[in-house]
Amino acid sequence: MNPNRPDGGRTLVFAMLIFLGLLAVEAGLLAAAVGRLPNDVAAPLADQFAMLVTLWRSNPMAALPHLAQQAVIVIAHREPATGQQVWGLYYYPLTLIVHLAVAGVAARMLAAPMGRRRLALLAAGGAALVIGVTYVRLAACCTVTSRWALDIALLAQAYDPTSTWLDWQALYAPLEPAFPYLQAGTLAAGIGLSVAAWRRRPRAAGD
C-alpha cells in the first residue's frame, strides 16, 4: 500500500467540507454586499421532479434543456413580511457539478504536500471556475431571473445612485453583449489554471 496515497474516506469528507465552505463563502459575500442574511433555502428541481420525469419519458431531448435551466438549490433572503426575495444564489446542475469537481480536486491535491506556486494556481483556477458558473438574482437590479455573478455585480453598480465616482451605466452598456464571452473566458482560464496546478510537481521544499 502506498503511504503517500490520500485516504479515500478522508478525502471525501474533506471534499464535502470544501464544497459546503464554498457555498457558505458565496452566501456570506452576497449577504455582506446586500446587508441581508440568508433565511431561505429552496429546491426548485425537487418541486418539478415529477413533471421532469414525465417529460423525460416522453421526450428526453426536450427534457434536457428544462433540467439544465432548473435550479437545484436556491439560497436566498426573503423579506419576512412579504416573502419577496431580496437576493438569491442559484445553483443549477452545471453549477453544482463544477463546485463538486473543484472541491474534489482541491481535497485530493491538498491531501499531499504542496508548494506555494501550485497552491496559488489551484486557488486561482478554482475561484475562476466557481465564479464562472455562479448565478445571482438581486431584486434591487430589477432582474426577473438569475444572471451571471459578474453581470449582476456591474448591473448593481449601474443601478446604484450613490455610485457617482464612475459612470457605471456607460460602462455596463457596451459590456452587456460581451458577458457570454467573458463568462466562457473565465471558465477557460479556470480550467487552464487548474490543469497547470494538477500537473505541476514541486521541485523543492519551498516551491
DSSP 105: H
Q: At what angle do helices 149-159 and 168-175 cross, to 10 degrees?
A: 150
Contacts of 126 (CB under 8 A, 6+ apart): 102, 105, 106, 190, 194
pLDDT on residue 1: 47
Helices 93-110 and 8-34 sit at what angle, rounded to 10 degrees?
120
Question: What is this structure's pTM?
Answer: 0.84
Q: Give mean pLDDT, residues 69-85.
A: 92
CB 152 within 8 Å of CB 176: no
d(CA 79, CA 108): 40
Grid cell in block for residue 148? 451571471
The pLDDT score that the predictor gives to residue 163 is 61
Question: Per residue in 25-35, pLDDT tens?
Answer: 999 999 998 89
All three cell numbers of 13: 469528507
